[in-house]
Amino acid sequence: MARIADLLAAGPTYSFEFFPPKTEEEKLQLVRTMRALEPLEPSFVSVTYRGGRSSRRRTHDLVAGLLRTTALTPMAHLVCVAHTRLELAEILVDLRRAGIENLMALGGDPPEDPDAPAGELAHAIELVELARAIGGFSIGVAAHPAGHPRSPDLVSDRDHLAAKLERADFAVTQFFFRAEEYVSLVEDLRSRGVPKPVIPGIMPVTSLRSVGRMAEMGAAVPPEMVAELEAAGPDAEVRRVGIELTTRLCRELLEAGAPGLHFYTLNWSTATREIYASLGLGPPAAAAAS
């Protein structure tokens, strides 16, 4: 299995993110999506983690299954919330025993259940340090071009990110919609003496209904982009314009020197495959099939 830090050192990476299914219907959808995306030969894929024992098992089983049964290089997400330090150490050891070398270390959102334990580790940087102590991981962390929603200001957010990334190997950003936001983030980190790779996260807007959800997830769609989508007309045209805008963003990011692209798929494949084809990524056979 490849370590993501090594893949990034060798050249641009192109990757996809999935979430572990809860139901049989979601499982079938994910299988269809992975079958459609695997021929694109992504550098790696990541699997999210919501916290708690049920998500712990789903994430572990999906990542371990990908490692055993596919040619994909998986990365497991892990969050601090709702876990003791001992539980987190147990999870990390279980991942290493399963042969998993790639980890996304996250703080995590506060538990929805008010009675759930907050967890012993307050910040992702502590999880990075714990994973380093366990050993054997290539570690990624999250970055927010506009700042984390719970950060008091952008300066303190960047201070925290720089300290976290110094201990990790790379970062993956929250999705965003303006290339200059990414460029500003990378330049800010470099000015702080942190030149580690920062992979931009990509989320295409394929419907007007999703605009509100994007804001709720921490990255509002810019007004000029919303206006362009609203002017597109029927839903099919909105989708086409959204794909075109996302493809343009990807090109701008790669031209600006981004070390790759990370696509948030939401367990669907079509938009990602269309953007891949437009960018000329993936093996020739897969591009022709698209």
* Contact of 154 with 124, CB cutoff 8 Å: no
17 assigned to active site: yes
Cβ-based burial of 103 (10 A; exposed 0-12, middle 13-18, buried ≥19): buried
Residue among 6, 33, 31, 17 nearest 261 (CA):
17
The three-class DSSP label of residue 22 is: coil
Residue with tokens 């925290």: 160
* Contact of 65 with 54, CB cutoff 8 Å: no
- The two beta strands, 74-79 and 198-202, are unpaired
* Percent helix / strand / coil, the chain, rounded to 5: 50, 15, 35
Q: Out of 17, 101, 126, 274, which one is annotated catalytic? A: 17
Residue among 56, 141, 124, 50 nearest 93 (CA):
56
Radius of gyration of the chain, Cα coordinates, nearest whole angstrom: 18
Residue among 84, 78, 79 nearest 119 (CA):
84
DSSP state of 153: S
Q: Which residues pair with 74 in a beta bridge?
A: 45
Catalytic (active-site) positions: 17
